[in-house]
Amino acid sequence: MSARKRVFALLALSIPAAACAVWLLRAPLARAGCRFFPKTAAVAHAQIGRKRADQGNIDEAFRHLTRALALDADCRGALLGLSEAFLTARQPQRSVQYLSKILAKDPKDAQARFGLGVALDALDLPEDALAQYAQVLALKPRNPEARYNYGLDLLRLDRPEQALEHLRLAAQLQPIPQVFNNLGAAFAATGDLRSAQECFLRALSMDPGNIEAKENLRRLPRKSS
């Protein structure tokens, strides 16, 4: 091996995935070098794919994410990225497929577990989604998204009293209009109209253009005089 090739080999060993991702986009020589390190190249392709998905370029995202899996069938970033891309493409069953593969390897992966709950909600399986969010909360009790989705599914299942407990906590952890709007819906379902009104008004104070909160407030029964 020439001195130049030895230097290249040593440099390639230390290329982090983020740097490799840049090289994959710009340098044919680097792409050839990354073939000798498939796991690093897979992570790099996964990073590019997820970035392209965030930018709305789904076709390019799929291209990089599937390439990542071809290089490393267990690449977590690629499996997560594909699950997110298929969810965006309204194919939640495919999303479940990739998330289940992550969880088969690591059942305590909270991010994948949460994603599975979201996919099951998209499949209109709230009871199954609840079980996933419960496991996320067992691992991360202060996860605001899991707490909110748990409460929302309880509300969908016509269990507003239980939903209130979780939506209250979600509002403390993440005080945003969407959470207050659904907290108001839970109060309304239990007959606490004053608290419901307060929540809808709170949502509107944070987002005056919130159509759902306006409509919920309009539909709220008025007390008879």
pLDDT, tens digit (0-9, with 9 covering 90-100), for 91-121: 999 999 999 999 999 999 999 999 999 999 9
**Does pTM surpass 0.85?**
no
Residue 135 predicted with pLDDT over 90: yes
CATH tag, 1-88: 1.25.40
| Greater pLDDT, 37 or 157 | 157
pLDDT, tens digit (0-9, with 9 covering 90-100), for 164-216: 999 999 999 999 999 999 999 999 999 999 999 999 999 999 999 999 999 99
Residue 7 predicted with pLDDT over 60: no
The confidence score (pLDDT) of residue 10 equals 35
CA dist 21 → 1, 10, 87 (Å): 27, 18, 24
The CATH class that applies to domain 146-225 reads mainly alpha
| Mean pLDDT of the region 22-49 | 65
Side-chain-side CA neighbours of residue 216 (13 Å): 29
| Mean pLDDT value across the chain | 86
Where along the chain do its domains lie? 1-88, 90-140, 146-225
